[in-house]
Structure 1
Amino acid sequence: MGNIFKSVKINDTHMLNNLGLALSRVDCVQPPEPKINTQDIPGADGILDLTESLVGRTLYNNRIITMEFGRGLEKSAWPTMYSRVQSLFHGKQVKVIFDDDTEYYYSGRAAVSDYTRTQMLGTLVITVNADPYKYEMYGGLDDWLWDPFNFQTGIIRSYKNLTVSGTRDVRIIGRDKIIVPLIISNASMTVTFKGKIYNIVAGNNKIYDIEIMEGDNTLTFTGNGVISIDYRGGIL
């Protein structure tokens, strides 16, 4: 039976189930700040907005995730608990999965702070300086599972060990984040994307003109061999 309290998993540690630390608030994740670029226009009304002028889209700063935890514990046991939390997370790269959003994870670097304690109750804060996007739990190379899949919003990504014998189309539904996928091949062949043909060598291939954007993207492989595509969607 699941917990009635919503919590969070950080790396391999579920904060409530494994440490007994309860999440004190659920509004931990706030939107990332857009990188707004404006210039004043002397002698004219308004401003010149150049936000999308560099790459044609809005860019974002990292987002800050602030999680406050508390637990009733003997006062003498809190130093050990605080040290354990620091050893697990402080200054380390972490993956954060909230119980009410298990299809996605946040990635960033954690800091432990604001440790306080009374006779029985202790609290601490874990802050994560995270990427602006949250990422799909399952990418194109991961084994796909039925249980956590959301049939309303989920996308089945099965891009592992695809056989190419002549020509094969691979359709990728892109999310918000523009991503250059890693194409892994066991043989030389070509791939066509948006009317342009690119050479693929045996091994790992990063073709920076192949950007998976939001919506339908089709890659057409020509040759003979087996390919895999490492793509993981990201949304705000």
Structure 2
Amino acid sequence: MNEVFFDGMASFGDWGLYLTSLTIDAPKPKEIYVEIPNGDGALDLTEALTGEVHYESRPFEAVFAIKPETYSVDLERWLIGYLNGKQRTIRTKEEPGYYLVGRCATSLKNDGVLAVLTVKATCKPWKYKNDVTAINMTIGASGTLTINLTNERKRVIPTITASAAVTVVFNGQTISVNAGTQRLTNIALSYGDNVMTITGAESTTVLFEYQEGAL
């Protein structure tokens, strides 16, 4: 049975709702254009400020049928109380490895034969991976290792935990990383491959953790 999960609650397994329609639109890019007087077209400033594209909220809509033998006033009241106005993590069976984060709004129509519950949500643009990506490594006798941290579409600054001080060469920069846990703005992972070289004492451990977000 196809269903939707709101903070782990299953629309069919827990509530007996039949999913009849599911729409998850792609987020719209925030495009910025400035018209050029006495010139052709417009100046595209979409990526001018940060060097990347930003997105509007992602629309979500799920429509559920509630059979007469399942429907009750208590169920209706509980569903509205649980969903309406609440921010929930939303998962679907089509993409079990990802989740959305959105604030829900509900409406329910009951014609006496069939009740229909519509759940709309204004979601953050990104489909987040269920699990935080964690890459742990140990520097060998050479004192140097090269790694590739692959990342989804959302630019992200990883959390770095090092057992001792190391240096990281990334995007042409040499960056000092102290022992302990930190996030450094000059180590930001972009879409795809992110190759870096780490130098430090033998047996030093370095852990990278980051939350990937896809479109």
Bin the TM-score by the shorter chain. 0.7 to 0.9
TM-score, normalised to structure 2's length? 0.86
Aligned length: 211
- Which whole-Å CA distance do the structure 2 matches of 1:118 and 1:187 have between them? 67
Residue 99 in structure 1 maps to residue 112 in structure 2:
no
Q: Paired residue for 1:119, among 106, 112, 119?
A: 112
TM-score, normalised to structure 1's length? 0.79
RMSD: 2.2
Residue 72 in structure 1 maps to residue 77 in structure 2:
no
8 Å CA contact 1:94–1:107 kept in 2: the answer is yes
Q: What residue is the counterpart of 2:138 in the other structure?
A: 163
CA 1:204/1:36 → structure 2, altered by over 3 Å: closer, same or farther?
same
Deviations 1:98-149 (A, max 9, x none): 11121222122x22321222324222222222121212233323xxxxxxxx
Structure 1 residue runs of 5 or longer lacking an equivalent are 142-158
- Which whole-Å CA distance do the structure 1 matches of 2:133 and 2:14 have between them? 30
How many angstroms does 1:63 deviate by? 0.9
1:77-88 matches, within 5 Å, as 77-88=71-82
Identity of aligned residues (%): 27
The answer to which of 8-17 and 120-129 deviates more is 120-129
Q: Paired residue for 1:131, among 124, 136, 141?
A: 124
Q: What residue is the counterpart of 1:209 in the other structure?
A: 186
How many angstroms does 1:184 deviate by? 1.9
1:1-236 matches, within 5 Å, as 3=1, 6-26=2-22, 28-74=23-69, 77-108=71-102, 110-141=103-134, 159-160=135-136, 162-165=137-140, 166-224=143-201, 225-236=204-215
Deviations 1:171-203 (A, max 9, x none): 111221111111122333222212322222233
How many angstroms does 1:49 deviate by? 2.2
